[in-house]
């Protein structure tokens, strides 16, 4: 049998070192903060105040600038969580479990925001806050999945085991992501099909599309920022007393 | 294979010595279903419309209730650890235990479902579909539930947690299971629903023993 011999690049394994991740994350953090702040501020102000009103929906469509990024992120975060969990299981990296753990709360928040803004948007356009439509139902299931992952993660006190258990559940739960993504195409839903894509030509005028692009990108940076911050905080907790940390400039106070 | 047969024989023997384990989910199933006419309305027209969903939800809850003990007893008396140390892949163990679980909790539900259907005034044309959909669906429920049962084994207060973890995964099964019965009650074809239920069963059969086995080894 042929020898199965391939290697991941070195930076991949370096990511598994708490010290390396802590320092690298510390370098990225200010840039992520800046990018998230600028993109979200510009996108929101542009979208909410200056973009032209929709010819059918009037001003109510502006909730899109909150709803769409939250909905996209709710799925991306779940996928990231599952991928981080799989990396943790395959390469036995503690950092990956920490990253997966950091994803849970922010992902659940995005899902909740997507559902609430969707309900608020649904009232003027569909005449109902909630309908049992495939897209809405599968997003609700996503929220329940986040709740399950969160409950499991907190029920097991041993960090390492909690990380592995969460990873398995997250990987199994990923089955829901394609269902959400394609629910608007597979079933005849009240929810409109996707009108936002990075690769296809936008179906709306650029004055409406560009602010949306900014808020989506900004949300990704916000997600990255939250994950970096929370993972670094977990490194501080678990590595408490480690010599590299005690000598680190963040701890010892040396300039 | 010998290993799996040995597990199946052992688990069946354990159930035979403790028959309440087999009867409790069944009683629970009948009780939950009986609550609906009392709680909602005893009117035949309304009941026959809701029968499919009610039966499926009750079957799901009964399965969940019995799943908690799938690995727990073996974990508590230490035999699970020994079984995992045996030189066989852990998915064999999961598959054998799930099979017994389905035989003990799923199959009786299917057998009693015509009676329940009659109590809820489900049109008699839909009863074969109900039984067939349960036959295809309940093994999927047991398989998916095994992941949750394996994950919460050894966790305090695992029962509630198990419900939280597994119910979201049950959603597709209940949607297609209940709509197949509803379609049959209206005299519409059910082949598509059955194909989907079968596909979900095969998919669960491939994935879940592996995932539950990995979860048991944590």
Using CA coordinates, name the residue in chain B closest to A145: B168
CA distance B150 to chain A (A): 9
Where exactly are the structural domains of chain A? 65-237
Contacts of the segment B150-154: beta carbons below 8 A, 24+ positions apart: B150/B70, B150/B71, B150/B94, B150/B211, B150/B212, B150/B213, B150/B215, B150/B216, B151/A152, B151/A165, B151/A168, B151/A169, B151/B215, B151/B218, B152/A152, B152/A155, B152/B68, B153/B71, B153/B72, B153/B75, B153/B80, B153/B215, B153/B216, B154/B75
Q: What is the pLDDT of residues B155-164, one digit of tens each?
A: 877 788 898 8
Give the whole-angstrom CA distance, residue A88 versus residue A167: 8
Q: What is the pLDDT of residues A51-105, one digit of tens each?
A: 888 877 888 888 999 999 999 999 999 999 999 999 999 988 889 999 999 999 9
| The two three-digit tokens of residue B172, written as one number | 């597709």
**A152–B contact, CB cutoff 8 A:** yes
Tally the residues of chain B: 218
Query: Are A168 and B172 a contacting pair at CB < 8 A?
Result: no
Q: What is the pLDDT of residues B50-100, one digit of tens each?
A: 898 999 999 999 998 888 888 888 888 888 888 888 888 999 999 999 999
Query: Are B218 and A164 a contacting pair at CB < 8 A?
Result: yes
> For residue A137, which residues of chain B lie inside 8 Å, CB to CB?
171
ipTM for the assembly: 0.87
Which of A111, A168, A176 is the best residue to mutate to test the B interface, defined by the most B CB atoms within 10 Å of its own CB? A168
Q: Is the pTM for the entire model greater than 0.80?
A: yes
DSSP per position, A135-190: HHHHHHHHHHHHHHHHHHHHH--SHHHHHHHHHHHHHHHTTHHHHHHHHHHHS--S
Query: Are B165 and A168 a contacting pair at CB < 8 A?
Result: no
């Amino acid at each position: 049998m042929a020898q199965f011999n391939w290697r991941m690049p070195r930076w991949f394994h370096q990511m598994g070192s708490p010290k390396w991740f802590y320092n690298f994350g510390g370098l990225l953090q200010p840039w992520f903060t800046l990018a998230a702040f600028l993109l979200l501020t510009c996108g929101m102000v542009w979208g909410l105040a200056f973009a032209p009103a929709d010819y059918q929906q009037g001003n109510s469509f502006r909730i899109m600038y909150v709803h769409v990024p939250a909905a996209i992120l709710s799925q991306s975060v779940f996928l990231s969580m599952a991928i981080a969990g799989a990396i943790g299981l395959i390469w036995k990296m503690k950092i990956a479990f920490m990253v997966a753990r950091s994803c849970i709360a922010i992902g659940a928040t995005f899902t909740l925001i997507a559902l609430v803004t969707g309900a608020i948007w649904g009232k003027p356009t569909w005449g109902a806050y909630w309908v049992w439509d495939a897209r809405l139902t599968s997003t609700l299931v996503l929220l329940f999945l986040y709740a399950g992952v969160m409950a499991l993660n907190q029920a097991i006190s041993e960090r390492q085991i909690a990380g592995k258990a969460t990873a398995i559940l997250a990987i199994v739960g990923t089955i829901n992501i394609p269902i959400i993504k394609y629910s608007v195409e597979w079933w005849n839903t009240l929810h409109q099909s996707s009108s936002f894509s990075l690769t296809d030509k936008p179906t709306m005028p650029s004055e409406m599309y560009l602010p949306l692009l900014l808020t989506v990108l900004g949300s990704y940076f916000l997600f990255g920022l939250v994950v970096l911050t929370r993972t670094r905080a977990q490194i501080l907790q678990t590595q408490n007393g480690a010599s590299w940390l005690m000598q680190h400039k963040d701890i010892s106070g040396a300039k | 294979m010998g290993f799996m047969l040995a597990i199946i024989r052992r688990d069946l023997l354990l159930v035979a010595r403790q028959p309440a384990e087999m009867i409790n989910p069944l009683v629970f199933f009948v009780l939950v279903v009986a609550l609906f006419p009392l709680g909602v309305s005893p009117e035949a027209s309304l009941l026959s419309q809701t029968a499919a969903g009610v039966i499926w939800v009750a079957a799901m809850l009964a399965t969940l209730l019995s799943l908690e003990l799938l690995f727990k007893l073996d974990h508590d008396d230490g035999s699970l650890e020994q079984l995992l140390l045996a030189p066989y892949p852990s998915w064999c163990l999961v598959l054998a235990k799930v099979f017994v679980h389905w035989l003990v909790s799923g199959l009786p539900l299917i057998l009693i479902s015509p009676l329940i259907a009659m109590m809820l005034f489900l049109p008699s044309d839909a009863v074969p579909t109900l039984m067939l959909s349960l036959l295809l669906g309940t093994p999927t429920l047991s398989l998916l539930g095994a992941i949750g049962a394996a994950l919460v084994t050894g966790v305090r207060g695992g029962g509630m947690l198990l419900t939280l973890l597994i119910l979201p995964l049950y959603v597709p099964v209940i949607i297609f299971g209940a709509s197949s019965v509803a379609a049959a009650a209206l005299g519409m074809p059910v082949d598509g629903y059955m194909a989907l239920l079968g596909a979900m069963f095969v998919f669960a059969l491939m994935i879940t023993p592996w995932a539950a086995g990995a979860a048991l080894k944590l």
